[in-house]
Chain A
């Protein structure tokens, strides 16, 4: 059974289009994340979502919007795609600690390679 799944695996689209990436986790975790990994492999946290509380990285353009219909799903919508959005997007999930702040191990999905032409 796949723990964290994403669809699609590849996404090729034109500038200006709107697209969505879906993520589902079956680990029962209470926190989900979206990361962007650029061509130099640098990982940038975009959002974390815990019990309907959204934490946004302030450097993320508002063209990006996460939507969580329930605790097991966190989708990413991107409006007006730009060339610079081309990257691999990873969804991840984790369980918050039983006491105190912080998180437990994050489990990653397979990634979605987005190419904007």
Chain B
């Protein structure tokens, strides 16, 4: 059974600092997603990582994937308040159920 673990689950940080959110998964998969959810809002797709060593960047966010270690990271550079949100990783179950397996989410609070 595929399981996805994120850590930390809660992160409070100061503006201007760097930090990393980790996403581990338990069995082979070929596709990993990062989503963002603002308070009271829906989920928005940020990145899809398709292969080992894949790296994607948008603004102050950079995501990477190591399929051998079954690990993805979401790195935040020089954080700003607008990045405060809950971040989810999700892994393709790679089966006929068309389902993603979701992490529990990391609530990120960035203080001015």
Contacts and interface: CB of A to CB of B under 8 A. Distances in A.
Contacts of A96: 98
A66 interface: no
Interface residues of A, number: 24
Contacts of A92: 43
A86 interface: no
B88 A43 contact: yes
A102 B42 contact: no
B42 A108 contact: yes
B42 A43 contact: no
Contact of B43 (A31, A50, A90, A102): A90
A95 B15 CA distance: 38
Given A41-B107, A90-B43, A103 B88 contact: no
A66 to B, nearest CB: 14
Nearest to A110: B42
Interface of B: 30-31, 33, 37, 41-45, 48, 86, 88, 90, 92-100, 102, 104-105, 107
